[in-house]
């Protein structure tokens, strides 16, 4: 039996070998605010990443960090063992997968496609079947959290798809966020993601109602916000987004159009499953009002501004 120092030395090399084994050749399509930050984390963890974005200039900072630029979704999928995508909606996902030079044409046996986008579960399942016809496999893996959550390493990931495929991808997903949960078959991660996201707008509207009620009672808006984000009602979302009623971020974390897309997905799923969603429907109308007032590019926290104007107040 070797000395303690020899044992420590051997343990070090075993850990290093396991770490190297986890490094993967990855692809990533969609390098917007969240997608770009995910790629940065994967690069920092030592993975090789080939990336593509419709607007190349958004990828410049990632190329500077070591990301390899690929000229199309097909090129990304051809270069990677596991290809991730994070795009805006079902139509965008279908376009990057099935379009000319799409992901489907770059996949081959044994490869995996992981969609992080929030899209209709039925669309995701249909794409998964087409990918399996190529001998590859697909997971839906939407995330819960914000840019701040991601940067803090607190993002949670929900995954739908085959258990054996999930096992292969889980170590990489853990490099994006520490909480990774397999929820069932294809499309089910999207179902729970939609169930989570509808609550963002509902909570934000309720928070706005409370702030305005306090303000019109004679309490300053700043004081009302400070009390509420340090109270029992302060979910993580309220804590980081509540202050947006005082000042919107320079760049929307999740704009009105994106939030309303998810609300419409929720209401359609509710219709299909006979689940009434009354607070979702009401909150969605405030998002429609925000769009009507020209706020569609603002963070969806601007439902506060809509309600403030209805209350006779200006921000």
Q: Encode the chain in three state secondary structure.
A: CCCHHHHHHHHHHHHHHHHHHHCCEEEEECCCHHHHHHHHHHHHCCCEEEEECCCHHHHHHHHHHCCEECCCHHHHHHHCCEEEECCCCHHHHHHHHHCCCCHHHHCCCCCEEEECCCCCHHHHHHHHHHHHCCCCEEEECCEECCHHHHHCCCCEEEEECCHHHHHHHHHHHHCCCCEEEEEECCCHHHHHHHHHHHHHHHHHHHHHHHHHHHHHCCCCHHHHHHHHCCCCCCCHHHHHHHHHHCCCCCCCCCEHHHHHHHHHHHHHHHHHHCCCCHHHHHHHHHHHHHHHCCCCCCEHHHHHHHHHHHCCCCC
193 catalytic? Reply is yes
List the catalytic residue out of 130, 134, 193, 297.
193
Q: Give the residue numbers annotated as catalytic, written as ranges.
A: 193
């Amino acid at each position: 039996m070797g000395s303690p120092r020899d044992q420590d030395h051997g343990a070090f090399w075993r850990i290093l070998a396991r770490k190297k084994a986890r490094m993967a050749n990855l692809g990533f399509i969609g390098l917007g605010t969240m997608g770009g930050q995910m790629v940065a984390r994967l690069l920092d963890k030592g993975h090789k990443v080939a990336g593509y974005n419709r607007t190349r200039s958004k990828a410049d900072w990632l190329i500077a960090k070591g990301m390899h630029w690929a000229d199309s979704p097909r090129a990304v999928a051809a270069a990677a063992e596991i290809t991730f995508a994070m795009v805006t909606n079902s139509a965008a996902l279908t376009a990057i997968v099935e379009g000319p030079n799409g992901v489907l044409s770059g996949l081959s046996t044994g490869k995996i496609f992981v969609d992080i986008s929030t899209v209709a579960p039925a669309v995701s399942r249909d794409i998964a079947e087409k990918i399996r016809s190529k001998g590859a496999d697909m997971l839906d893996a939407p995330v819960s959290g914000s840019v701040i959550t991601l940067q803090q390493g607190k993002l949670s990931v929900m995954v739908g798809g085959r258990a054996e495929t999930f096992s292969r991808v889980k170590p990489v997903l853990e490099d994006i966020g520490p909480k990774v949960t397999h929820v069932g078959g294809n499309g089910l991660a999207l179902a729970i993601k939609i169930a989570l996201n509808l609550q963002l707008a509902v909570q934000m509207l309720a928070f706005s109602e409370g702030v305005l009620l306090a303000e019109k009672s004679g309490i300053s808006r700043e004081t009302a916000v400070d009390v509420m984000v340090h109270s029992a009602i302060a979910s993580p979302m309220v804590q980081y987004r509540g202050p947006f009623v005082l000042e919107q971020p320079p760049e929307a974390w999740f704009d009105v159009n994106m939030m309303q897309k998810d609300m419409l997905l929720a209401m359609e799923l509710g219709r299909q499953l006979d689940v009434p969603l009354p607070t979702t429907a009401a909150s969605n109308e405030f998002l429609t009002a925000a769009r009507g007032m020209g706020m569609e590019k603002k963070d969806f926290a601007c439902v506060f501004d809509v309600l403030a104007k209805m209350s006779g107040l200006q921000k």
